[in-house]
Structure 1
Amino acid sequence: MTEKHFDVWSAGEAYEHYMGRWSRLVADEFVSWLGCGAGARWLDVGCGSGALTSTVAARCRPRTLLGVERSPGFAATARGSAPAPARFVVADAQALPVPDAVFDVAVGGLVVNFLPEPGVAVAEWARAVRPGGLVAAYVWDYAGGMAFLRHFWDAAAEVDPASAALDEGGRFPLCAPEPLRTLWDGAGLVETAVAPLTVPTLFTDFDDLWEPFLAGQGPAPGYTAALSPAVRARLRETLRAAVPTRPDGTIALAARAWAVRGRRPTATA
């Protein structure tokens, strides 16, 4: 089976249990890092289940807020969770159905590494903002900053060495500071900056960590769902032995994302 076979992103509720709860924490850190004032026109590209859209709506008092999402299932989840003035369209992140220069801020949360042509996408996001407008995104640090995923893929490699080809740490070299900076610079953006965003991922017990891997949403759950029951059971016990469990049964880990931002040049620049 190919890598893309496991990149399933369609059911918003399943995603919420797997990654959405942590996505909302990192969205809050990202918005704080951007430091945008009230009254701006926002575009959230690849908005998924609406974690970042909801955060922008709640914290930034936007004048307008448009979420763009290719998956109808995710868009439906986002519509049900994001408050006004958010609205949503189903469209491709690399071909936005918006005019030139109509937004002040264009953002993409946890999406750019999954796009077939990230450079095309970022240039398209830059087209949508006014001169001087902000283009920003964040991605998980799959190689070293997502502790629970790192434990998962290390356990998978122990049980099934062929699984190493599916590990996001190797598949997504874009998810690191210098590749992100190069991507933003290559889209013609200026004042580029990159920063780490770290959030806690506290699991109430091992089942709280394990069960989302059975939902089939995303590379690791997609891989888990495709395993035979016997291999899946071996993976479960290998992972259980690897994660640091406290005496009360909780598992306290951390997740890091890399954030990047830049501005569309003005005429004077």
Structure 2
Amino acid sequence: MDGWQQGEQYERYMGRWSRPTAVKFLRWLAVQDGPRWLDVGCGTGALSTEIVNHVSPAVVAGIDASSGFIDEARRRLPAGIDLRVGDAQSLPFVSDSFDVVVSGIALNFDPDAELAVREMRRVARTGGAVGVYLWDAQLPHAADGSIRLQSRAWAVAGTL
């Protein structure tokens, strides 16, 4: 198994950055307490943990393509969080089922981020919120198209 698929190793390296960033994102998002939250590309649970700690959710669900990340998230998050292995491009939830749908640092790695954002919108209730944060465009891999992805993501965010 690739080390980046092993949640404990990823958490040790990235958790120190992911958790403070998640708190800042939730402050920036400024969503009033919403009862039902979905974290798309939840990884090891950094954003989901901060949702639990800083918001008053009735339900938190998370989905990630990596079973290793989901295993680590299950170790870190309280019981009762619905954590699933799955694909952001085909979310296994009915339409209009969440008040707030978020994703942190995951869409950079999705081969069809536009489809993932459409899926996020599909599962968000009418009047709900969809929010995403990504890696900085200055990172070396930005030349592969992630700058275009970011500009498209902001354009989509403006139309949701």
CA distance in 2, matches of 1:141, 1:24: 16
SS at match of 2:70: helix
Indicate yes or no: 2:47 matched with 1:46. Answer: no
CA distance in 2, matches of 1:130, 1:51: 24
CA distance in 2, matches of 1:104, 1:49: 22
Indicate yes or no: 2:135 matched with 1:170. Answer: no
Kept in 1, the 8 Å contact 2:33–2:55? The answer is yes
Q: Which ranges in structure 1 are unaligned for 5 or more consecutive residues?
A: 1-6, 144-149, 151-166, 190-269
Q: Which position in structure 2 is the counterpart of 1:34?
A: 29
CA distance in 2, matches of 1:42, 1:175: 24
Pick one of 125, 134, 140 that aligns with 2:129.
Answer: 134
Kept in 1, the 8 Å contact 2:6–2:68? The answer is yes
Structure 1 residue runs of 4 or more that deviate by more than 3 Å after TM superposition: none
| Residues 97-134 of structure 1, C-alpha deviations (whole Å, 9 max, x = no match) | 10010100000110112111111110111000111110
Find the structure with the greater CA-based Rg: 1
SS at match of 1:173: helix
Deviation at 1:83, TM superposition (A): 2.3
Pick one of 89, 92, 97 that aligns with 2:92.
Answer: 97
Matches within 5 A, 1:128-207: 128-143=123-138, 167-171=140-144, 172-174=146-148, 176=150, 178-185=151-158, 188-189=159-160
The alignment's C-alpha RMSD in Å is 1.9
| Residues 53-87 of structure 1, C-alpha deviations (whole Å, 9 max, x = no match) | 00001110201000011110000000111225422
Total equivalences in the alignment:
158
Q: Which position in structure 1 is the counterpart of 2:9?
A: 14
Q: Which ranges in structure 2 are unaligned for 5 or more consecutive residues?
A: none
TM-score, normalised on structure 2? Answer: 0.90
CA distance in 1, matches of 2:30, 2:86: 28
CA distance in 1, matches of 2:47, 2:155: 24
Identity %: 41
CA distance in 1, matches of 2:28, 2:14: 21
